[in-house]
C-alpha cells in the first residue's frame, strides 16, 4: 500500500521519468528485504518483492490502454498513445537495472554471491556455449534471435494470464543484466587502476560507462521488444476480463495487439543483429 500510493497511474504515464526513481526504490527495498527475511532464496525473492510493488501501477496502466483501444479508431494515433506506456516501462526497467548494478558493486562479494546467485548461474549458462566452437555469425544471430523470441513469447503469455505478469520478465532480466554489468565494472576498475594508476573515482566512472554501454547497446532494444509484447498481451488480458470480447470492438483490440507484436518482432530482429555484428565490433 505504501509503494503504490507514492505515484498515481495517470501521473506515471504523463511523467514516466519518475518511474526511474520508483524502480530504483522498489528494487532496493526488494534486495534488502529479500536478503534479510529469505537469505538463502534472496536471488528470487527480491524479484517477486519488486514485482509486487509494481503490479498496481501496471494493472491500472493496462486498463487505461485497453480503454484507449475501445475509444480510438486510428491505429497510428493509438500506437502513439501506447508509446507513453512504453516510456513508462523503459524508465522503470532502467531504474531497476541501475539499482541492481549499484548494490552489486557496493555490497561485499559475500553478499552479492548470495543475492545474485541464480543470476550469476544464468549468465554462466548463457556464456558457456559461445566460448567453444567456431560458429558463423549467421548461426550466432539465429541462436540469439530464437532465444530472444522465446522470451518474447513468455512475455505475451505472462501478460495474458497474469495481466501485469510481464513485469516479472522485465525485473528478472534487469537483475541478470545488472549482474553482468556489475561484474564487468569490477573487472574493468581493477584493470584501469592497474594499467594507468588513475584515481579510483575516475576508474569507477570509466568502468561504469563502458559496462553500461556494452550491455545496454543491444540489451535495451531487446527489453523494449519485450515491453511491447507485454503491453499487447496485457491489453488482451484486460479486454477478456472486462468481457469486451463479446463486443464488436474486440476485433480492433486484436488488430492493435497484432500490430504491436509485429513491431516487437521487428525490434527484436534489429537487437539480435546489433548484438551479433555491431556490439562485438565496438566493444
Could you tell me which residues come within 8 angstroms of residue 98 by beta carbon, excluding any fewer than 6 positions away? 20, 23, 24, 178
Please say if the pLDDT value at position 72 is more than 90: no
Please say if the pLDDT value at position 145 is more than 60: yes
Domain assignment present for residue 67? The answer is: yes
pLDDT at 249: 74
Residue 126 to residue 142: CA distance in whole angstroms? 15
Tens-place pLDDT, residues 97-111: 999 999 999 999 999
Q: How confident is the model at residue 132 (pLDDT cuts 50, 70, 90)?
A: very low
Domain assignment present for residue 2? The answer is: no
Domain assignment present for residue 258? The answer is: yes
- Collapsed DSSP state (helix, strand, coil) of residue 155: helix
- Collapsed DSSP state (helix, strand, coil) of residue 163: coil
Domain of residue 53, residue span: 9-282
Domain assignment present for residue 68? The answer is: yes
Domain assignment present for residue 66? The answer is: yes
- How does the average pLDDT of the chain come out, rounded? 84
Domain assignment present for residue 1? The answer is: no
User: For 23-27, what is the mean pLDDT?
Assistant: 94
Which of 140-144, 182-186, 238-242, 260-264 shows the lowest mean pLDDT across its residues?
Answer: 238-242
Domain assignment present for residue 13? The answer is: yes
Domain count of the fold of the chain:
1
pLDDT at 254: 87
Please say if the pLDDT value at position 73 is more than 70: no
Please say if the pLDDT value at position 259 is more than 70: yes
Alpha helices in 72-199 (DSSP H): 75-106, 109-115, 117-131, 137-162, 166-196
Tens-place pLDDT, residues 224-257: 999 999 988 888 887 887 776 667 778 888 888 8
Which letter does DSSP use for residue 5 in this model?
A: T
**Within the chain, how many helices (H) and strands (E) appear?**
11, 0
Q: How confident is the model at residue 182 (pLDDT cuts 50, 70, 90)?
A: very high
| Whole-prediction pTM | 0.87
User: For 20-36, what is the mean pLDDT?
Assistant: 95
Residue 94 to residue 88: CA distance in whole angstroms? 10
Domain assignment present for residue 21? The answer is: yes
Amino acid at each position: 500500500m505504501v509503494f503504490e500510493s507514492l505515484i498515481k497511474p495517470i501521473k506515471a504515464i504523463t511523467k514516466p521519468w519518475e518511474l526511474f526513481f520508483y524502480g530504483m526504490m522498489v528494487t532496493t527495498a526488494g534486495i534488502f528485504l529479500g536478503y534479510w527475511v529469505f537469505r538463502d532464496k534472496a536471488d528470487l525473492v527480491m524479484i517477486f518483492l519488486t514485482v509486487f510493488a509494481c503490479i498496481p501501477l501496471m494493472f491500472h496502466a493496462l486498463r487505461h490502454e485497453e480503454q484507449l483501444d475501445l475509444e480510438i479508431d486510428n491505429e497510428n494515433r493509438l500506437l502513439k498513445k501506447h508509446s507513453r506506456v512504453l516510456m513508462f516501462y523503459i524508465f522503470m526497467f532502467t531504474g531497476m537495472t541501475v539499482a541492481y548494478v549499484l548494490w552489486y558493486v557496493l555490497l561485499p562479494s559475500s553478499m552479492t554471491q548470495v543475492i545474485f546467485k541464480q543470476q550469476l548461474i544464468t549468465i554462466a549458462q548463457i556464456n558457456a556455449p559461445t566460448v567453444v566452437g567456431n560458429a558463423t555469425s549467421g548461426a550466432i544471430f539465429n541462436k540469439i534471435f530464437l532465444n530472444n523470441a522465446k522470451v518474447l513469447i513468455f512475455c505475451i503469455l505472462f501478460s495474458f494470464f497474469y495481466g501485469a505478469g510481464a513485469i516479472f520478465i522485465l525485473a528478472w532480466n534487469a537483475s541478470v543484466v545488472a549482474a553482468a554489468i556489475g561484474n564487468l565494472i569490477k573487472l574493468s576498475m581493477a584493470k584501469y587502476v592497474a594499467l594507468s594508476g588513475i584515481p579510483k573515482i575516475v576508474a569507477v566512472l570509466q568502468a561504469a560507462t563502458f559496462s553500461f554501454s556494452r550491455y545496454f547497446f543491444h540489451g535495451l532494444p531487446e527489453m523494449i521488444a519485450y515491453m511491447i509484447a507485454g503491453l499487447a498481451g496485457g491489453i488482451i488480458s484486460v479486454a477478456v476480463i472486462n468481457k469486451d470480447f463479446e463486443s464488436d470492438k474486440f476485433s480492433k483490440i486484436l488488430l492493435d495487439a497484432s500490430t504491436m507484436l509485429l513491431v516487437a518482432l521487428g525490434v527484436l530482429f534489429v537487437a539480435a543483429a546489433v548484438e551479433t555484428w555491431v556490439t562485438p565490433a565496438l566493444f
